[in-house]
Amino acid sequence: MSATVQTLEAMERPPVTMSSRLEGELLEVSMGPQHPSTHGVFRMNVTLDGEIVRKLKPVFGYLHRNHEQIGEQTTYLGSMPYTDRLDYFCSMSNNWAYALSVEKLAGIEVPERAEYLRVILAELTRLQNHASLLGFLLSDMGAWGTPLMYAFREREKILDLFESLAGSRMMCDYMRFGGCRVDADDNWLAGARKIVDRFPKFLDEFEELILGNEIVIARTQNVGKLSADLAISAGITGPMLRACGVNYDVRKVDGYGFYPRFKFRIPLGEHGDTYDRLMMRALEMRESVEILKQALAQIQPGAIVNPKAKIRAFRPPVGEAYGRIEAPKGELGFYLISDGGPNPYRYRVRPPSFINLTVLEDLCLGHTVADVMVILGSVDIVMGEVDR
């Protein structure tokens, strides 16, 4: 690269872009682990040609806190609070996935009211996760602060609900094998109804604020396109998969919980680009509100925990089980092997956001380095789950 003097003649020619001038000279940049837009301690080794990404290697492990090994050293119930800290936005969904897997392993039935409560809490979790994700994504795009503040305002309302039910804002530790820990009283349900009824108003406001915005459209449409074939082969799940037009939602496919009882639609994307992924979250929130309305109307009084489920000295029979749910980020699964002892022989978490990162390099190649942050934001990762 040599400095060139700009003559008048040269300036009249079509502008020389940064990337074409630096061709052949590759620059390696380490983005993260301390970076304002990596959503935690994620690191990417990016090879740049000018501004264009030519190679991208994610580096993991900066939050690898040995969840699986600790899970193998504690009792089955003792792992429940640890699951809160996997995807720390969605502790209720994590609880459910783990409880569901242990219930499969030990063959425990769940009473009706508990299933309803689980659906309600999981969908509330989905609402606050997607709202915050959109806020963070807009922050990454440069809309610093405002959308995130709106999202966190709604999130705080839902966290208040969690706190009044489970005793903690974020780390709820709410579900138990064969049910839930505490019952929701009528006041709580009334409060939940109020928040759910008001949520569409927030969505109208939020969508108007961000989704029709010219800058958002320019930065997201046709950026980071993912094809359906690659998505299926790479095990992509959740909104990211459905943005490619693949109709696969564990809530419909497995029909766990009481999801078959509710009427709801699965939003599907068409192009698989960042804009579709963003829209997927907005549309899913509307469907979650529908599920919540039905669940809150149908819930009946009753037991919240199966009396046959043992809390103390819980030892599932020898065997193994893989249970999964549709967490807000994708398919969250737990694979457990029991040797008949008080703690699992093998405790494995199938983290959706970790596996969704498999295609990050494919999505970013050929885009500018500024787009990398937007694409990463639309994948929706949480490091607690990626690294465990």
Partner 1 sequence: MESLEQIKARAEAAIPGAKIDIVPNLGPANQPSLLIDNEHAPAIAKFLRDDPTLRLDFCSNVTGVDWLDRVTKKTVKVKKVVEGEEKEVNEPIEERIPGYLEAVYHLFSMAHKHGPITIRMRTRDRGEGARLPSLTPVWRSAEFQEREIFDLYGIRFDGHPDLRRILMWDEFEDHPMRKDYVQPDDFEWEPTPHDDVLARAKQHYAPRPAEQELRPS
Partner 2 sequence: MGEGQIDEALRTELQRQGVWVTSMQELYNWGRKNSIWPLQFGLACCAIEMIATAASRYDIARFGGEIFRPSPRQADLMIVAGTVTKKMAPQIVRLYNQMADPKYVISMGACAISGGPFKQGYNVLKGIDRYIPVDVYIPGCPPRPEALLHAFMELQRKIDEQKLTGADKAAHLDPEEPSEFPVPAFGKHDLEPPANPDVFQPPELKRV
Give the interface with partner 1 as residue ranges (CB under 8 A).
Answer: 60-61, 64, 66, 68-69, 104-107, 230, 232-237, 246, 248, 253, 316-322, 324, 331, 333, 335, 337-338, 345-346, 348, 350, 354-355, 357-359, 387
Distances (CA, A) of 239 to 123, 149, 179, 263, 367: 14, 23, 28, 19, 22
Instruction: Pick between residue 144 and residue 322 the one whose CB is nearest to partner 2.
Output: 144
Query: What is the closest distance, in whole angstroms, from the C-beta atom of residue 196 to partner 2 in the complex?
Result: 20
Q: Decide if 12 contacts 36 (C-beta within 8 A).
A: no
Instruction: Pick between residue 153 and residue 194 the one whose CB is nearest to partner 2.
Output: 153
**What strands, in cross-sheet order, belong to the sheet with 319-327?**
319-327, 330-338, 346-350
Instruction: Pick between residue 170 and residue 230 the one whose CB is nearest to partner 1.
Output: 230
Instruction: Pick between residue 70 and residue 170 the one whose CB is nearest to partner 1.
Output: 70
User: In 3-state terms, the chain is what percent helix, strand and coil (to 5)?
Assistant: 50, 15, 35
User: What, of partner 2, partner 1, none, does residue 190 touch, CB below 5 to 8 Å by kind?
Assistant: none
Instruction: Pick between residue 166 and residue 296 the one whose CB is nearest to partner 2.
Output: 166
Instruction: Pick between residue 236 and residue 383 the one whose CB is nearest to partner 2.
Output: 383
- Token pair recorded at residue 192: 């939940």
Query: What is the closest distance, in whole angstroms, from the C-beta atom of residue 69 to partner 1 in the complex?
Result: 6
User: What, of partner 1, partner 2, none, does residue 277 touch, CB below 5 to 8 Å by kind?
Assistant: none
Query: What is the closest distance, in whole angstroms, from the C-beta atom of residue 33 to partner 2 in the complex?
Result: 6
Binding site for partner 2 (CB under 8 A): 33-36, 40-41, 61-67, 69-70, 73, 81-82, 85, 88-89, 148-149, 152-153, 155-156, 169-171, 383-384, 387
Query: What is the closest distance, in whole angstroms, from the C-beta atom of residue 358 to partner 2 in the complex?
Result: 21
Instruction: Pick between residue 105 and residue 379 the one whose CB is nearest to partner 1.
Output: 105
**What strands, in cross-sheet order, belong to the sheet with 52-59?**
26-31, 43-49, 52-59
Overall size of the chain counted in residues: 388
Query: What is the closest distance, in whole angstroms, from the C-beta atom of residue 54 to partner 2 in the complex?
Result: 25
User: What, of partner 1, partner 2, none, does residue 106 touch, CB below 5 to 8 Å by kind?
Assistant: partner 1
- Token pair recorded at residue 355: 């596996």
Q: Residue 65, CB half-sphere, CA atoms under 13 Å: how many?
A: 10
Query: What is the closest distance, in whole angstroms, from the C-beta atom of residue 61 to partner 1 in the complex?
Result: 4
> What gap in Å lies between CA 338 and CA 107, rounded to an integer?
13
Provide the H-helix boundaries in the chain: 8-12, 18-21, 67-73, 80-84, 91-106, 112-141, 146-166, 186-210, 214-220, 228-233, 239-242, 250-253, 274-298, 352-356, 360-364, 369-379, 383-386
